Structure 1
Amino acid sequence: MAHPPVPDPVGPTDASRVPRYAGIATFARLPRLEDVPRADVAIVGAPFDSGVSYRPGARFGPAHVREASRLLRPYNQVTDVEPFAAQQVADAGDLAVNPFDIAEAVADIQRGAEHLTRDGTRLLTIGGDHTIALPLLRNVAAQHGPVAVLHFDAHLDTWDTYFGAPVTHGTPFRRASEEGLIDREASLHVGIRGPLYAREDLRDDKRLGFAVIASHEIELDGLAAAIDRMLARLGDRPVYVSVDIDVLDPAHAPGTGTPEAGGLTSRELLAMLRALSQVNLVGADVVEVSPPYDHAQLTAVAAAHVAFEILSAMAPAR
Structure 2
Amino acid sequence: MNGKIYGDGAFRRESLQGSTIENTYAGALSFMRRRYTRDLTGVDVVVSGVPLDLATTFRPGARLGPAAIRAASVQLAELNLFPWGFDPFDDLAVIDYGDCWFDAHQPWTIRETIKQHALDIITNSNAKMLTFGGDHFITYPLLQAH
Q: Where on the TM-score scale, by shorter chain, does this alignment land: which range?
A: 0.7 to 0.9
Does 1:108 pair with 2:107?
Answer: no
2:31 is equivalent to residue 24 of structure 1: no
Which ranges in structure 1 are unaligned for 5 or more consecutive residues?
Answer: 1-7, 141-318
Kindly tell me: are residues 11 and 97 of structure 1, through their superposed partners in 2, closer, same or farther at Cα, counting changes over 3 Å?
A: farther
Q: Pairwise CA RMSD of aligned residues?
A: 2.1
Name the counterpart of 1:137: 143
Tell me whether 1:10 sits opposite 2:17 in the alignment.
Answer: yes
Please identify the structure whose Cα radius of gyration is greater. 1
Measured in 2, the distance between the counterparts of 1:139 and 1:31 equals 24
- Runs (4 or more) in structure 1 with deviation over 3 Å come to 34-38, 73-78
Cα separation, 1, equivalents of 2:65 and 2:140 = 18
CA distance in 2, matches of 1:38, 1:103: 34
1:70 to 43, 52, 74: 74
CA distance in 2, matches of 1:34, 1:135: 20
Equivalent residues, number: 129
Task: Give 3-state SS (helix, strand or coil) of 2:88's partner.
Answer: coil
Q: What is the percentage of aligned positions where both structures have the same residue?
A: 33
Deviation at 1:37, TM superposition (A): 3.5
Counterpart residue number, 2:102: 97
1:103-160: per-residue Cα shift (whole Å, max 9, x none)?
Answer: 31111110000001112211101111110000111111xxxxxxxxxxxxxxxxxxxx
TM-score by length of 1: 0.38
Q: Which residue of 2 aligns with 1:125?
A: 131
CA distance in 1, matches of 2:80, 2:54: 34
In structure 2, stretches of 5+ residues that fail to align are: 1-14
Report the residue type matching 1:128 in the other structure.
G
CA contact (8 A) 2:16 2:35 kept: no
Take 1:132 and 1:20, find their aligned partners in 2: how far apart are those partners?
Answer: 30
1-structure distance, mates of 2:16, 2:61: 34
Write the distance in 1 (CA, Å) between the matches of 2:110 and 2:24. Answer: 33
1:224-235 superposed matches below 5 A: none
Q: Could you tell me how far apart the structure 1 residues matched to 2:65 and 2:129 are?
A: 17
Query: How far apart are 1:10 and its partner, in Å?
Result: 2.4
